Chain A
């Protein structure tokens, strides 16, 4: 049986909540990704400054408290700057602060290039899901209506059901392309400590 154990699967699983919750439309996806990148980079910087050995395993709690504080500030900023994004997806901006994927760069064995690759995979995944959810579920792209008067979009795809189905379909397509050899899986290889059984 083909084994799927690569960076894409890791990113999609560890970042499943922001990908699903933050993909209501393209604008939301970009904001959620910006918050994710900000917290990921800042927490990585903090983890390199503080003495992790002195805090032992409790360093995760310290980093999480820092991350959720930044996420809360971003949540309040979104409420002020983008009220429509805040109204429907504000909570997911806050929850980026407790998403495991956000803190993967804090591990010593994860290099910056590896973190950057994960960030890119996350961005592409959330954009793809958001594009199809907005197109099918709301009949628009970046808020611009594409459907003629009289055509109704499949609004169920704008809801949670659409998130699940579209992400599941994209995931299967990625696996299919990998099995067919159209995607070079060597590029998405995981580093030793991140492997999952």
Chain B
């Protein structure tokens, strides 16, 4: 298997940003409604993560060594900028439990930028990693939307509804996914 292609697959499934690193779980739980709507919404968030991560990592790449301490702010500002763009397109509006929803977009973007930055990858690997993680996020987003829809219509007791059931579902998925680690 080509090394870059292996890296691409690894970032989609075994090292999926939601399943392996918990990044963007809250965003997916809060923003998903039905499966159909989440197909479009997921694309917007995945593209947001893609462009924010590319922007932040490219700026971080050209920063001089003495200015490396600024990287966290670069990542934060790129995430904040893309969350503003998403708000412009009608996403992340309003509050969730009293806090603005745009907060939810920052952690997954900064987290994935940090993981890729710490990996000391070359340019091709960075682009591949960002693309694979965005794709992986989209898959996880749709998976969470599916679990949420099924849990909502199920006849289970109310104590099992929504978030706890989604978390346990993701846990079982993570167990299955981590079985693929032997490939890498």
Contact = CB atoms under 8 A, between A and B. Distances in A.
Interface of A: 1-2, 4, 9-10, 12-14, 16-17, 20-21, 60-61, 64-65, 68-69, 72, 91, 94-95, 98-101, 103-104, 107, 110, 156, 159-165, 167-169, 171-172, 175-176, 179, 190, 193-196
A159 B115 CA distance: 17
A103 B103 contact: yes
A162 B168 CA distance: 9
Given A91-B111, A168-B167, A65 B178 contact: no
Interface stretch (B52-60, B91-99, B120-128): B91-99
B97 A14 contact: yes
A171 B76 CA distance: 31
A168 B171 contact: yes
B183 to A, nearest CB: 16
A175 B167 CA distance: 15
B159 A172 contact: yes
A100 B170 contact: no
A-B pairs, 6 with minimum CB distance: A164-B171, A194-B98, A168-B167, A165-B171, A161-B174, A168-B168
B80 A68 contact: no
Given A94-B114, A193-B98, A171 B103 contact: no
A21 B174 contact: no
Interface stretch (B1-9, B18-26, B32-40, B43-51): B18-26
The majority secondary structure among interface residues of chain B is: helix
Nearest to A16: B26
Contacts of B106: 64, 98
Interface in B72-115: 72-73, 76, 79-80, 96-100, 102-104, 106-107, 110-111, 114-115
Residue picked from A16, A101, A190, most chain B C-beta under 10 Å:
A16
B161 to A, nearest CB: 8
A137 B18 CA distance: 20
Nearest to B96: A196
A100 B104 contact: yes
Contacts of A104: 98-99
B160 interface: yes
Contacts of A161: 171-172, 174-175, 178
B21 A196 contact: no
